[in-house]
Amino acid sequence: MVTDRSRINFYLFALNTLLLATLALGPGPGCAARDQHGNKLKPALLRLHLESYQDVPERLITVTLGRAAPFSFSVEKGQYLKDDQIVAAALADGDGLYAIKIKLDQQGETMLNQLTSANSGKRIAVWADFGEVRWIGSVRIEKRITNGELIFTPDTTREEAEKIVAGVNHLAKLYREGRR
């Protein structure tokens, strides 16, 4: 009887150790990442498009922003940001308002510096795919951005902004791990 109990205790100890080790390592590649509400995370895409005053319809897209007071402007079809250039995204809070801040890698930082240096007064329109595809904001270029951080107030609910930030960070993590 004593040997049977010690054998069972050994198996329980081994099982408990394996469980603790699994929890310490975190979710494996087959496990889905979850957001703060427990929903499965899906990658979110962001695209930056530069405002254009050209009269060449085949090279332009009309962007409409602002649900309360809609306004439209034209942007170039070509994007100025690659998905793998985003290092991180964050939701910035202040005075009851929120903004999305994206941090770019060195290549993206150089691109943003050049874009903002040469296009003062124009806007950068932000397109997103976060399960819903739409234009979510714009930034008027008032000065050169040299630190690789673009901050904009999204035309989204707070929940949508949180979903975008979580999805962008999830995609950045997949790129870092080489899984995208």
Give the domains, in start order, of the chain with CATH numbers: 1-31 (no CATH), 45-176 (3.30.1360.200)
Residue 149 is inside which H or E element, if any?
A: strand 149-152
Q: What pLDDT was estimated at residue 82? A: 85
Sign of CA dihedral 170, 133, 159, 41: negative
Q: Say whether 14 sits in a helix, a strand or coil.
A: helix
Average pLDDT over residues 86-111: 94
State the Cα–Cα distance between residues 156 and 99, nearest whole angstrom: 10
Going by C-alpha positions, the residue among 130, 131, 141 that lies closest to residue 89 is: 130
CB 83 within 8 A of CB 148: no
Instruction: Output the furthest CA–CA distance in the chain (Å, rounded).
Output: 90
CA neighbours within 13 Å on the CB side: how many for 2? Answer: 0
Q: Say whether 157 sits in a helix, a strand or coil.
A: coil
The pLDDT mean for the chain works out to 83
Going by C-alpha positions, the residue among 126, 56, 50 that lies closest to residue 86 is: 126
Q: What pLDDT was estimated at residue 81? A: 87
More confidently predicted of 36 and 161? 161
Q: Say whether 6 sits in a helix, a strand or coil.
A: helix
Q: What pLDDT was estimated at residue 165? A: 97
Token pair 């008032």 is at which residue? Answer: 142
The pTM for the full model equals: 0.76
pLDDT at 100 over 50: yes
Going by C-alpha positions, the residue among 132, 45, 136 that lies closest to residue 83 is: 45
pLDDT at 120 over 70: yes
Q: Which of 27-36, 59-68, 166-175 has the lowest mean pLDDT?
A: 27-36
